[in-house]
Each structure stands twice: as structure tokens, then as C-alpha cells.
């Protein structure tokens, strides 16, 4: 299961990860020794954050710069945990890291409450399509483990999340530094009768991908022994030799002549495999092969996006969804949302870290799906000069 | 085995994206260890039984002899277009680990690679590093730029989102490191090797050189230490990995020597 930890700078993300690894005995002996040596050299007490903050600059400046992944396991399952930077400057690294997650842990320092990045991250999680969110209220040791302080921040967080349409699975009082309620139940917070973070994680159900109709975005076309073989990764469903399929967005009919996997011909293949396929028609990168219910084909799209770099009304960008790439004009920025105040503003541009609602017009028709039907066709990025500057999901 | 299929499909997609953009200006970097051999197997799968691009082996001159033997065997069997990158000059002037490991790795690996890239004009390299190997590698992207000097600009990495990667390069001196195996863990590699019947170097098994010892990670002869183990089959290795508390690269001396050694090496263009 892929977890991402997000939240404002210094609220304890990296320390929480270190603590999780340490308490679940997932930290290799050498790693622990290396961290202890590094701490000693920098004149500090044990810094759990060093498990993930491995760059020299990160340790010396005591902050995470880039996203990273590490692993821990419990009796129940194996976890990938993604750390992200909390500093505003590194929002693109936070977005990169979060894009791999199934579950998010939103961390809030009890003595500070929700800050700007807490809110921004929460909003971005929603737009990235991460459905399961656990809230942890950290540094309880700093406020003497008082229930009142926890309740106050808990209410603040729940109110905010409700406004942006996020329902967290639970809210847990913890101390990553001391270890309370992360893996071990806290003896300092007898007033809390909920579960520890690890118990909540272990009890999460793996979100099953929706089984949908056959969809294969074509990635490339190779010539193998004089024959044209199209390649791509199946993102949904299955296909058999002899099947009749449709090519989108052109809406043409075609028949499957051959299916190749490695150097063998096979009869049938399904998600998540990478395949080679020969049809009785020519196809190219960006075409989507489909069976069953028609996919959605549009030339205009209204969607919520998060920005890594500036998006301006009236400008053109490259819109990419699976292997499709078309020129798209931002005909209108309908709404700019300030994650901190949740105010809806009007504007002609969206800046780094902003979220907003835009109307896009495409030069050519594009195939999409609702995010709930086929994840990959339900999300897209906008690029400028081949660099990703924004992304969104289609609801 | 849906999980293995997902890992495999993602890697193949990345390999195909790299090939699409760079064609034969793309090379596969292999050390003949378990990760690069797995990656080479994936390249073969991606191109339906063929490896259409050159395969580069950085030969430090200090490799274990079993590596050279394995290289000969695989090059023939898999019909590979093999290029050997070697820093002859440095070796002639006596470079070795006794000159300092940072210096040696930089001269015999990083420099050799730089020279090779220049000579052949490679614009992208498939490299089999994984996030779980080292915390510094965990900071990587699937497609990662290197400057003309081979430097890794770790503080300026571009965003990567979902299945969208930065495949374009602007400056003609830059090259791209492509890491299709980033999301694989050590145990995933072994499980896949078992499933696909991928040939591996006998050094990984106990008794290859000395009874009661095996190599968990293969580096150069002077800088790799075996670990105590009785695992003689892939199944036994997998079992061992399921319970160990020791890091994979514990026997790799260059990882330990100086603090932030790995970061320094990588900033200079190491893998």
C-alpha cells in the first residue's frame, strides 16, 4: 500500500516516517548506525527524520527538499511511505511524491494548528484523487498531552476538510518524536480510546480498481519482421485475438489479428499487461483502443487543476492524458481558489501552488473517462515546453 | 501475480518511452548484477525478444572474474551489441581503491561512463537503480537529467506525475538517466528472476567462492564483501530476504566511507 505524508513545514512528517520505520523494526541495522553517526557529527539527539532526509543539505538545514520513498512492514502488510517537503518552495516535489499514493496522512502540529501548506496540501490531495485521508495531530508531547488542545485542532481540521469535500477516516493524537500512538498505544493519553496510526493503516482495505471495459492507449508502433505491431499498456479490461475493437477518437472499427507478449503470440491478455497488438488497420500513438461502452470523447473540458507553474487565461498548453497529447487553450479561468482562506477569486492566471477551475478547448478531440471508471484516462497534465506545469482529475 | 505484472508493465512502458525519443542514442547500462540483468530482460521483453540498442558495461578493471565470464556468456546468448567503457588512462597511471574510494569510483566508473557517452553520443541511458538501495537513490526521478559534466542537479528536479515523464532534453550536452526499476525492491527482483527464469551470476549463491558466504550486492572485487549465508537457491535467497534486518548494500564499502559519500558520488555523475 502506498502512503504519502503531507503537511506544513516542520510539523513532523519526516520524523513520523523515521519513527514508523524504527518502531516496526523496519530499519536496517546499518541505517540506524549511519543516522546515529550523522547525528553525533551534527551535535544532535537522535533524529528520526534522517531516515528520509538523506541529502546533506536536508540534514544541515533540517528540512526536506525533495520527495522520497521508503518501506516498512507490519504483520499485516508491506507499506511504501512517501515523504514530501512542506515548504512552499518545494510544492512541485510534494506533488510528484503524492501522485504515487493511495492513502494520505495529513499531519498537523497541535501547537500551531492548520497552516497555509497544510491547507494547500489537503486541497491538492483531493485534486490528485487520493480518496483515503488520515489526519494525525502531532507534537502532543509539547502541549502536555492535553485533550482540550487536541479537540480544538481536531475541530479546526474537520471543518476545513468538510469545506473542501474531504472526509478523513479518523483523527489521531500522536507524538512522532516520543512515539505515542504511532505504533505503540500512548500511556500519556488515556482519554484517547481510538486506534494507533499503524492499527488504522493495517485495517485499511486495499482499494480495488474498478473493473471496466477494455481500454488500451497506444504508445508506439514497431515494425517486427515486416509487420506493424502497436504497443501499449492495457489500463482496463481484456482483449482476445479475433476480437472486434474500436479505435478512438476516430471511431473506426478494427479487428485484432495478433497479440504478442515478449516473443510469443498469445490468445488473450488483460490489465495490467504491456502488449504488442496487430490490427487490420493502421493506428498510431495517442489512439485508444476500446471495447464495450464507448469512452468519452470531448473537444472541450471544464476541470479542477493544481498548478506547479503559472497558467494564464488565453494561453495554449499541451494537454496530455495517457499517451494522447494535444494543444489546449485555457479559454477561461472560471475560479481561482485560495487554499488558505478558501476564497474563490476571479483571475486571469493561476500561480505556483494555486488550485482553480479552468475551461480547456482542444485542437483535436480527446478521449477521457471519469476518474472513477478508469483512473489513467481520468487524469491529465498540462505542459509548457515539454515540462509539466499543472495537473487535474476528471470527475 | 498481479503485483509483479504491474511492476513489469510500468518498467516496460518507461523503457519504450525512452526508446521512442532516443532510438539508438539510448544505451542500456549493465553491471551484470541481478538488477541490470533483470532490466536487460525487460528490454528484451519490451522489444519482443530483441535488444535493439547498445549495451554498455563500465569495466573498472577490478571486476570479479565471474562477472567477466557471465558477460561473455550473456553477450553471445542474447546477441548483444556490447560496448565496454574503460578509463584506460587512469588505470595505466595506477588508479585503484587505495587512492581513496571516492576518487577511484569517480575515475574508474563515473569518468569512464562520461568518456563513453561522449564517444558514442548517447543522449539517454537505462540504469537499473532502485529507491530501496540507498536513501539518496530514493530521491530520484524516473527520467533524470544530467548536465554536460554529468552532474545530478538534485535540487532542481522536474516534476513527474503519474504516467507522464520528461523525455525531452534541450541542451545538447545534457543526457538523461532513465531508471525503469526505481519502484522495484530487492525482494521483487528475486521473485521476478524466479518467475521469468532469468540467468544470474553464481556469486549471489552461497558456496560460489566460499562455503557459508554469498554476495548480496556485486561491486568491484576490492570493495565488495560477501555476507554470511547458506542460501544456495533463489527460493532460499527469497526466504533470507523476508527475514533479514541487514541492508542490501551493507557489504559495499564506498557507501560507508565518508559521510554523504553516495550523495557526492552521485552529484558527480555516479549511478
Q: Residue B140 falls within a domain, yes or no? A: yes
**What per-residue confidence (pLDDT) applies to B186?**
93
**What per-residue confidence (pLDDT) applies to B137?**
83
Q: Residue B220 falls within a domain, yes or no? A: yes
Which of A:103-132 have CB within 8 Å of B? none
Shared domain for B126 and B236, answered yes or no, is: no
Which of A:322-341 have CB within 8 Å of B? 322
Shared domain for B35 and B76, answered yes or no, is: yes
Question: Distance from A152 to chain B by nearest Cα, in Å?
Answer: 36
**What per-residue confidence (pLDDT) applies to A346?**
82
Helix (H, G, I), strand (E, B) or coil at A367: strand
Please indicate whether, in this complex, the C-beta atoms of A274 and B12 are within 8 angstroms of each other: yes
Shared domain for B176 and B241, answered yes or no, is: no
Mean pLDDT across the stretch B42-54?
96
Q: Residue B193 falls within a domain, yes or no? A: no
Query: Which residue in chain A is spatially nearest to B45 when comparing CA positions?
Result: A262
Q: How many percent of chain A have pLDDT more than 70?
A: 100
Question: Distance from B9 to chain A by nearest Cα, in Å?
Answer: 5
Shared domain for B170 and B215, answered yes or no, is: no
Query: Which residue in chain B is spatially nearest to A82 when comparing CA positions?
Result: B138
Question: Between A and B, how many residue pairs show a Cβ–Cβ distance under 8 A?
Answer: 132
Q: Residue B194 falls within a domain, yes or no? A: no
Please indicate whether, in this complex, the C-beta atoms of B159 and A65 are within 8 angstroms of each other: no
Q: Which of A51, A65, A274 sits opposite B155 (nearest CB)?
A: A65
**What per-residue confidence (pLDDT) applies to A319?**
98
Which of B:184-203 have CB within 8 Å of A? 185
Shared domain for B155 and B167, answered yes or no, is: yes
A182 prior amide bond cis, ω within 30: no
Shared domain for B75 and B87, answered yes or no, is: yes
Which CATH number is B161's domain given?
3.40.50.620
Q: Residue B191 falls within a domain, yes or no? A: no
Q: Residue B189 falls within a domain, yes or no? A: no
Q: How many percent of chain A have pLDDT more than 90?
A: 67
Checking A298-302 for CB contacts under 8 A at 24+ apart, the result is A298/A362, A298/A365, A298/A366, A298/A368, A299/A361, A299/A362, A299/A364, A299/A365, A299/A366, A300/A359, A300/A360, A300/A361, A300/A362, A301/A359, A301/A360, A301/A362, A301/A366, A301/A368, A301/A394, A302/A334, A302/A357, A302/A358, A302/A359, A302/A360
Shared domain for B161 and B214, answered yes or no, is: no
Domains and CATH numbers, chain A: 2-202 (3.40.50.300), 215-290 (2.40.30.10), 296-393 (2.40.30.10)
Question: Distance from A307 to chain B by nearest Cα, in Å?
Answer: 11
Mean pLDDT across the stretch A245-257?
97
Q: Which of B158, B163, B247 sits opposite A322 (nearest CB)?
A: B163
Please indicate whether, in this complex, the C-beta atoms of B160 and A99 are within 8 angstroms of each other: yes
Please indicate whether, in this complex, the C-beta atoms of B6 and A272 are within 8 angstroms of each other: yes
**What per-residue confidence (pLDDT) applies to A167?**
93
C-alpha dihedral over A370, A371, A374, A375, to 10 degrees?
160
Mean pLDDT across the stretch B18-26?
95
Ranked by mean pLDDT, which of A27-41, A195-209, B192-206 comes out on top?
B192-206
**What per-residue confidence (pLDDT) applies to A207?**
79
Shared domain for B85 and B114, answered yes or no, is: yes
**What per-residue confidence (pLDDT) applies to B102?**
86
At residue B169 the predicted structure's pLDDT band, cuts being 50, 70 and 90, is: confident
Q: Residue B241 falls within a domain, yes or no? A: yes
Count the domains in chain B. 2
Shared domain for B213 and B95, answered yes or no, is: no
A32 to chain B, any CB pair closer than 8 A? The answer is no
Interface pTM, i.e. ipTM: 0.91
Instruction: Tell which wins on pLDDT, A209 or A374.
Output: A374
The Cα B41–Cα B257 span in angstroms is: 33
Q: Residue B145 falls within a domain, yes or no? A: yes
Domain that holds residue B62: 2-184+258-267
Angle between helix A147-163 and helix A116-128 axes, rounded to 10 deg: 50
Residue B261 has pLDDT above 90, yes or no: no
B49 to chain A, any CB pair closer than 8 A? The answer is yes
Shared domain for B172 and B233, answered yes or no, is: no
Query: Mind listing the pLDDT tens digit for each residue in A84-117?
Result: 887 877 888 888 888 889 999 999 999 999 998 8
Question: Distance from A161 to chain B by nearest Cα, in Å?
Answer: 24
Q: Which grid cell sits at B184?
A: 522495484
Shared domain for B250 and B262, answered yes or no, is: no
At residue A83 the predicted structure's pLDDT band, cuts being 50, 70 and 90, is: confident
Please indicate whether, in this complex, the C-beta atoms of B131 and A92 are within 8 angstroms of each other: no
Average predicted confidence (pLDDT) for chain A: 91
Shared domain for B151 and B243, answered yes or no, is: no
Please name which of A319, A304, A324 lies closest in space to residue A371, comparing C-alpha atoms: A304
Question: Distance from B95 to chain A by nearest Cα, in Å?
Answer: 28
Mean pLDDT across the stretch B137-155?
86
Question: Distance from B233 to chain A by nearest Cα, in Å?
Answer: 24
Please name which of A313, A305, A295, A286 lies closest in space to residue A381, comparing C-alpha atoms: A305
Query: Mind listing the pLDDT tens digit for each residue in B212-248?
Result: 999 988 889 998 989 999 999 999 999 998 877 677 8
Amino acid at each position: 500500500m502506498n502512503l504519502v505524508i503531507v503537511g506544513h513545514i516542520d510539523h513532523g512528517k519526516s520524523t513520523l516516517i523515521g519513527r514508523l520505520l524504527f518502531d516496526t523494526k523496519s530499519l536496517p541495522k546499518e541505517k540506524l548506525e549511519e543516522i546515529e553517526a550523522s547525528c553525533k557529527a551534527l551535535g544532535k539527539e537522535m533524529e528520526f527524520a534522517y531516515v528520509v532526509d538523506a541529502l546533506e543539505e536536508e540534514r544541515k538545514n533540517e528540512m526536506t527538499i525533495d520527495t522520497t520513498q521508503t518501506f516498512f512492514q507490519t504483520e499485516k502488510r508491506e507499506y511504501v511511505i512517501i515523504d514530501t517537503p512542506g515548504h512552499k518552495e518545494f510544492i512541485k516535489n510534494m506533488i510528484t511524491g503524492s501522485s504515487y499514493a493511495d492513502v494520505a496522512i495529513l499531519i498537523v502540529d497541535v501547537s500551531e494548528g492548520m497552516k497555509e501548506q497544510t491547507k494547500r496540501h489537503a486541497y491538492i490531495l483531493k485534486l490528485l484523487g487520493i480518496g483515503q485521508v488520515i489526519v494525525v495531530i502531532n507534537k502532543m508531547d509539547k502541549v502536555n498531552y492535553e485533550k482540550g488542545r487536541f479537540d480544538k485542532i481536531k475541530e479546526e481540521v474537520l471543518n476545513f476538510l468538510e469545506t473542501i469535500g474531504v472526509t478523513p477516516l479518523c483523527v489521531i493524537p500522536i507524538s512522532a518524536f516520543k512515539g505515542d500512538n504511532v505504533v505503540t498505544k500512548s500511556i500519556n493519553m488515556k482519554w484517547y480510546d481510538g486506534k494507533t496510526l499503524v492499527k488504522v493503516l493495517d485495517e485499511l482495505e486495499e482499494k480495488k480498481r474498478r473493473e471496466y471495459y477494455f481500454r488500451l492507449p497506444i504508445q508506439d508502433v514497431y515494425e517486427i519482421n515486416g509487420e506493424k505491431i502497436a504497443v501499449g499498456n492495457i489500463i482496463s479490461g481484456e482483449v482476445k485475438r479475433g476480437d472486434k475493437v474500436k479505435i478512438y477518437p476516430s471511431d473506426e472499427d478494427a479487428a485484432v489479428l495478433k497479440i504478442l507478449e515478449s516473443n510469443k503470440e498469445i490468445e488473450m491478455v488483460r490489465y495490467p499487461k504491456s502488449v504488442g497488438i496487430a490490427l487490420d488497420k493502421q493506428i498510431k500513438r495517442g489512439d485508444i483502443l476500446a471495447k464495450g461502452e464507448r469512452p468519452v470523447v470531448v473537444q472541450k473540458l471544464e476541470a479542477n487543476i493544481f498548478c506547479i507553474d503559472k497558467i494564464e487565461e488565453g494561453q495554449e498548453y499541451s494537454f496530455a492524458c495517457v499517451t494522447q497529447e494535444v494543444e489546449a487553450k485555457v479559454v477561461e479561468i472560471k475560479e481561482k481558489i485560495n487554499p488558505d482562506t478558501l476564497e474563490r477569486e476571479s483571475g486571469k492566471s493561476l500561480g505556483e501552488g494555486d488550485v482553480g477551475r479552468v475551461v480547456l478547448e482542444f485542437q483535436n478531440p480527446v478521449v477521457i473517462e471519469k476518474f472513477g471508471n478508469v483512473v489513467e484516462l481520468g487524469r491529465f497534465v498540462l505542459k509548457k515546453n515539454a515540462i509539466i506545469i499543472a495537473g487535474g482529475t476528471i470527475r | 501475480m498481479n503485483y509483479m505484472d504491474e511492476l513489469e508493465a510500468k518498467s516496460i512502458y518507461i523503457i519504450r518511452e525512452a526508446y521512442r525519443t532516443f532510438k539508438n542514442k539510448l544505451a542500456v547500462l549493465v553491471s551484470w548484477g541481478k538488477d541490470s540483468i533483470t532490466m536487460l530482460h525487460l528490454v528484451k521483453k519490451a522489444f519482443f525478444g530483441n535488444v535493439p540498442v547498445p549495451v554498455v558495461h563500465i569495466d573498472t578493471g577490478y571486476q570479479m572474474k565471474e562477472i567477466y565470464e557471465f558477460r561473455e556468456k550473456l553477450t553471445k546468448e542474447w546477441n548483444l551489441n556490447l560496448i565496454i567503457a574503460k578509463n584506460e588512462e587512469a588505470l595505466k597511471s595506477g588508479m585503484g581503491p587505495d587512492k581513496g574510494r571516492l576518487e577511484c569510483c569517480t575515475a574508474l566508473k563515473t569518468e569512464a561512463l562520461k568518456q563513453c557517452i561522449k564517444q558514442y553520443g548517447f543522449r539517454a541511458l537505462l540504469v537499473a537503480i532502485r529507491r530501496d538501495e540507498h536513501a539518496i537513490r530514493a530521491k530520484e526521478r524516473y527520467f533524470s537529467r544530467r548536465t554536460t559534466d554529468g552532474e545530478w542537479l538534485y535540487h532542481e528536479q522536474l516534476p513527474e506525475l503519474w504516467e507522464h515523464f520528461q523525455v525531452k532534453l534541450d541542451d545538447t550536452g545534457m543526457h538523461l538517466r532513465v531508471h525503469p526499476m526505481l519502484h522495484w525492491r530487492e525482494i521483487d527482483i528475486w521473485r521476478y528472476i524466479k518467475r521469468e527464469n532469468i540467468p544470474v551470476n553464481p556469486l549471489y549463491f552461497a558456496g560460489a567462492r566460499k562455503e557459508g558466504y554469498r554476495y548480496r550486492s556485486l561491486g568491484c572485487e576490492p570493495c565488495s564483501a560477501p555476507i554470511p549465508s547458506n542460501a544456495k537457491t533463489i527460493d532460499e535467497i527469497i526466504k533470507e530476504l523476508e527475514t533479514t534486518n541487514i541492508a542490501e548494500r551493507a557489504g559495499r564499502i564506498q557507501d560507508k566511507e565518508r559521510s554523504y559519500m553516495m550523495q557526492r558520488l552521485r552529484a558527480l555523475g555516479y549511478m
